[in-house]
Structure 1
Amino acid sequence: MLKEVNIDWQNLGFAYMKTDFRYISTWKDGKWDEGNLVEDNMLRISEASTALHYGQQCFEGLKAYKTKDGKIQLFRADENAKRMNRSCRRLLMPEVPVEKFIDAVKQVVKANEAYVPPYGTGATLYIRPFVIGVGDNVGVKPAPEYLFCIFCLPVGPYFKGGMTPVNFMIADYDRAAPYGTGGEKVGGNYASSLMPHEIAAKKGYADCVYLDPATHTKIEEVGSANFFGITKDNKFVTPISPSILPSITKYSLLHVAKEYLGLETEERDVFVENLDEFKEAGACGTAAVITPIGGIEYKDKLHVFYSETEVGPITKKLYDTLYGIQIGDVKAPEGWIFEV
C-alpha cells in the first residue's frame, strides 16, 4: 500500500524537500560497488575531498511524470546518463554505466513513489544524480574514490497561472572559458553564474544572456538554459558552440519542431546584433521546458520579440507538444520514455 504524504501539490515551489530514500554507490579500487538505497540524507566525506577543493564533481537533472492512467515515466533518462558520462570524462572521474544509471534512477523513484505528484497538478518529481570526488587527497589530481548519488523531490509547475514571458539582459561576465567546461554539467559553471544572475535580478530581469567567451558577439546560454528563436520565416534556430551545455530539452525541441510541427530547424551561430531576425524566442531546460523570452536588453535598449505579456503561438505549440510527450498525453518518439 502506497504511503500517504501530506503535500499541497497545487502550491509546490522549486525547493529542497527530504524524501524517504536516496541511492549511493562508491567507486573504489577501479570499480563501482552495487550501490544501495539509504534513508540518511547526509553525506560523510573526507575534508580533503577533491569535490570540495578542486571542483571535481558533476550532476544531472531529470524528472519523473505521472500519466493519466497512473503510470510513472522518465523522459530520455539514457541521454542524462550519457551527458553525465561526458562530464565525468572531462573531469577524469569514472563513468557510470548507462544501465546502472537508469536502474538507480528507477530504484529511487520507486522507493519514493508516494512523492510523485498526481497527473494534472502540473507538479513533477525532480531527480538529481551526481558524482563527486572524495577521499584523502590534497594534491591537484583526481580523487582516489568517488560517490555516485541520486536524490529526488517533488517540485511545482515552473509557471504558476500559465506561461508568462520574462525579460533578460546581456551579461558583462562570461559563463565559461573558450575550450573550458561550458559544455559539461559541472558545478563551476553554475558558481560563476551566481554574481551575473544577482546583477540581472537587481535590475529587474529574470536572468542574463551569456555571449560567446571568445568574441562576445554570439548568444550562447540564457541563465542556466539554452536559447532558441523562431525566425520570421518560421525556422526553429538554436545556437551551436562547444561552450554550450547540450540540453536534452533543446535537442528534443529540435525534433519536435521538425517532426511534429513541420518547421525547418537550424543549429548555428546566433549573433546578438541580429535579434530582429526572430519573431519569438525562448529559453529551454528541464525545469520549465520552455521559458518564453519577452525581450532582451542590449546596449541599453530592450529588444522585444513577440510580446512582453503573451506567449508566441509557435512557442506555445512547442511547449504543449513536448510537455504532452513527457506526461504521456502525446505519442513519444521511440526510445524517449522509460516506464518505472
Structure 2
Amino acid sequence: MAKDIDWANLGFGYIKTDKRYISHWKDGEWDKGTLTEDNVLHISEGSTALHYGQQCFEGLKAYRAKDGSINLFRPDQNAQRMQRSCERLLMPTIPTEKFIEACRQVVSANEEFVPPYGTGGTLYLRPFVIGVGDNVGVHAAPEYIFSIFCTPVGAYFKGGLQPANFIVSDYDRAAPKGTGAAKVGGNYASSLLPGKEAQKRNFADAIYLDPATHTKIEEVGAANFFAITKDNRFITPFSPSILPSITKYSLLYLAEHRLGLEVEEGDVYIDQLNDYKEAGACGTAAVITPIGGIQNGDDFHVFHSETEVGPVTRQLYDELCGIQFGDKEAPEDWIVKVK
C-alpha cells in the first residue's frame, strides 16, 4: 500500500496504516499497552467520551531526515500538554515516558508510511484519551483508553506556504475559564459551524476573538496566531483560553534566539492591525500559514501581501522545518530519534 502513495500530493486526510497503539486504564492503573492492526474501537454505549465529552487528544509528527533517520519533534511537550488536558477533565494522566515510547512504537511499526525526505510530507500522530465503560451519570468514567494512530499527511491548508485570508467570527471558540487551554474535542466541535461559514465566503477559516470582550485576537481556526510588528517584534496572543501551541512556543524561542527579534506574549487588538507588517497561523498541522488578510466586519486588512510570503515569516518557517527535518541544528532535547 505504502508504495502506491502519491507522496508529492498528500492532503491532510486519513490513510489507514498498519499498526496503532492501545492501552487500557482500569482499577487505578494503565496496562502495558500493545500494538494492534484493528483500527476500530470497541467501547461501551455508556462511555463518557460519547455523552459528556470526557476525552482529549494530541497531534505531533514524525519527519524523515536526509540520512533516512526519523525525527519526533518535542514529543515531551505533547505529553505534558496531554497531561494538563487529562487533569482538566478528571482523566488519568499518561506518564511522559509511556507517551514517548508509544509514539516510537507507532512510528517504527509504520515506517513505510513516513514520507520520503524532500516531499514535504510527514507522518502525523494522533494520540488520544477517552473515558469508557458502562456509565450513565454525569461523572468521571470508570475506565479509559489511551491510543495513538498515525497517517501520512501533506499541507493542512491547500498550497502549503502561501498566504491565506481569514475572517473574524462572531462565535466564541471557548468560554472564559472554560476548556480553551485543553485540547478537547468540544473546542473543535464548536468551531465547525463558524469554520464552514468562513469557507462559504472563500476564507481559509475563522478568527476567534477573546470571549470576554471581543476586542483581542485569540486563535485562528484550530491554530495559534502570531504577528511581526513594524519595528520587528514577534508577538503572539496570551490568554488562559488559548491552547498553548508547541509550534508557537518553538517559534517564540527561534524568533528570539535564532533571528534576534524581541518577542512578546500579549494582547493583539483587532482594531490595531496596522501595527503589524506580517501575520501567520501556526500549529502542528498547519506548521506556519502566512495570513494575507483579515476580514473584520466591513474592513479587510492586508498584511505583507495576499500572494507573497513575508521575509520574517519565511525565515521562521525555514528555521523550524530545518530543525524538524534534521537540516539545521536543534536546540537541546527538541528532537527524539525514532531511527
What corresponds to 2:233 in structure 1?
235
What corresponds to 1:147 in structure 2?
145
CA–CA distance in 1 between the matches of 2:188 and 2:226? 20
What corresponds to 1:116 in structure 2?
114
Q: Are 1:73 and 1:337, in contact at CA under 8 Å, matched by a contact in 2?
A: yes
Structure 1: unaligned runs, 5 residues or longer: none
What corresponds to 1:134 in structure 2?
132
What corresponds to 1:288 in structure 2?
286
CA–CA distance in 2 between the matches of 1:301 and 1:196? 18
Residue 226 of structure 1 and its aligned partner are, at CA, apart by 0.3
Residues 264-313 of structure 1: CA distance to partner in whole angstroms, max 9, x if unpaired? 00000111111110000000001121000001111211000001111100
Residues 229-266 of structure 1: CA distance to partner in whole angstroms, max 9, x if unpaired? 00000000000000000000000000000000000000
Of 179, 182, 186, the match for 1:181: 179
Residue 151 of structure 1 and its aligned partner are, at CA, apart by 0.2
What corresponds to 1:330 in structure 2?
328
Residue 163 of structure 1 and its aligned partner are, at CA, apart by 1.7
What corresponds to 1:305 in structure 2?
303
Residues 15-72 of structure 1: CA distance to partner in whole angstroms, max 9, x if unpaired? 1111000000000000000000000000000000000000000000000000001100
Map 1:100-115 to 2 at 5 A: 100-115=98-113
TM-score (norm 2): 0.98
Q: Structure 2 vs 1, CA of residues 68 and 100 (structure 1 numbering), >3 Å: closer, same or farther? A: same
**Residue 43 of structure 2 is aligned to residue 45 of structure 1:** yes
Map 1:161-176 to 2 at 5 A: 163-176=161-174
Q: Structure 2 vs 1, CA of residues 162 and 34 (structure 1 numbering), >3 Å: closer, same or farther? A: closer
How large is the RMSD of aligned CA atoms in angstroms? 1.0
CA–CA distance in 2 between the matches of 1:324 and 1:144? 44
CA–CA distance in 1 between the matches of 2:235 and 2:182? 22
Map 1:193-212 to 2 at 5 A: 193-212=191-210
Map 1:250-269 to 2 at 5 A: 250-269=248-267
Residue 10 of structure 1 and its aligned partner are, at CA, apart by 1.0
CA–CA distance in 2 between the matches of 1:161 and 1:207? 15
Q: Are 1:249 and 1:286, in contact at CA under 8 Å, matched by a contact in 2?
A: yes
Residue 5 of structure 1 and its aligned partner are, at CA, apart by 3.0
- Aligned to 1:292, the other structure's residue is in SS state strand
Map 1:54-93 to 2 at 5 A: 54-93=52-91
CA–CA distance in 2 between the matches of 1:83 and 1:35? 20
- Aligned to 1:51, the other structure's residue is in SS state helix
What corresponds to 1:214 in structure 2?
212
CA–CA distance in 1 between the matches of 2:87 and 2:106? 25
CA–CA distance in 1 between the matches of 2:288 and 2:38? 34
- Aligned to 1:178, the other structure's residue is in SS state coil
Which runs of 4 or more aligned residues in structure 1 lie more than 3 Å from their structure 2 counterparts after TM superposition? 157-162
Residue 161 of structure 1 and its aligned partner are, at CA, apart by 5.6
CA–CA distance in 2 between the matches of 1:14 and 1:239? 26
- Aligned to 1:5, the other structure's residue is in SS state helix
- Aligned to 2:202, the other structure's residue is in SS state coil
CA–CA distance in 2 between the matches of 1:107 and 1:163? 31
How many residues in Structure 1 have an aligned counterpart in Structure 2? 338
Mean Cα deviation higher: 262-271 or 151-160: 151-160
Structure 2: unaligned runs, 5 residues or longer: none
Residues 65-103 of structure 1: CA distance to partner in whole angstroms, max 9, x if unpaired? 000011001000000000001000000000000000000
Of 91, 97, 103, the match for 2:95: 97
CA–CA distance in 2 between the matches of 1:200 and 1:162? 19
